[in-house]
Amino acid sequence: MALDHTSRQLIALALAEDIGPQDLTSALLPEDLVGEATVRAKDTLVLSGFEAVEAVFAAVDPRVEVRWANKEGDLVEPGAAVGSLRGPARSLLTGERLALNLLQRLCGVATMAHKAAQAVAGTKCKVVDTRKTTPAMRALQKAAVRHGGAYNHRFGLFDGVLIKDNHIAALGSITKAVERAREVAHHLVRVEVEVESLAQLDEALAAGADVVLLDNMDTATMRTAVQRTAGRALLEASGNVTLARLPEIAATGVDYVSMGALTHSAPSADIALDWGA
């Protein structure tokens, strides 16, 4: 993907936060010293975040060369040399921490997404992310989800209607909320409704919802919801979703399962920047 404006702003702010007026320690090195470093995986992980790393070093010093031995989405084993850097030693060391922070975080998300996708393999169910992303990292994290083999839900509040419990409470009913959505949104926008019971599911289906989100339902109730819906709308399971539960949720026949943990709870991957080629 081409790095978006928000991600570039994030990198600029993070560098300003880290470097301040001057990197006092890297200034100890001679200005003309050229360094080389290897980006090495310390865990089994799925790769993501290459453009973020490139953008960090481009902002620090355009003379830094970044080369990758793999592509994003590749699964690599511990010890794999996935990339290399060459350039002014001062600049390599100045950009090292932010580059690793982003790479470790994004590879962690991609690795979690890979595990989730593997957990539903062989079913029609797709694992999707949510808006529970780190502020200003949404585009990067959603790309990482795709690199791991899972899918994206709506990007933000502007590209899909998702009517939740508080919207329903404010408008008075699911029916009124769906009617209002049809009046406001254009015809290419799908309308999704969150429900907490089978009675609410019936109302959402009667109102013409395109997608129904089954919120915090147990497995047996999800299965009943699939049977009751009978293809009249797409169904998304959500709430209390873990890697361990994914196979049983997928087996109910739902079309999607949304998993906030893909972005808000994925552990950062262990990646090192080893000095020398």
Q: How far apart are CA 215 and CA 221, in angstroms?
A: 11
Residue entry with tokens 């989100």? 213
Ramachandran class of 273: left when φ > 0, alpha when ψ lies in -120 to 50, beta otherwise: beta
Decide if 132 is catalytic: yes
Catalytic residue among 51, 54, 96, 194: 194
Q: How far apart are CA 7 and CA 55, in angstroms?
A: 9
Q: How far apart are CA 157 and CA 37, in angstroms?
A: 41
Decide if 194 is catalytic: yes
Decide if 97 is catalytic: yes
Catalytic residue among 146, 164, 180, 223: 164
Which residues touch 107 (CB under 8 Å, ≥6 apart)?
Answer: 45, 46, 47, 48, 49, 144, 268, 269, 271
Residue entry with tokens 């399962």? 257
Catalytic residue among 86, 131, 132, 180: 132
Catalytic residues: 97, 132, 164, 194, 215
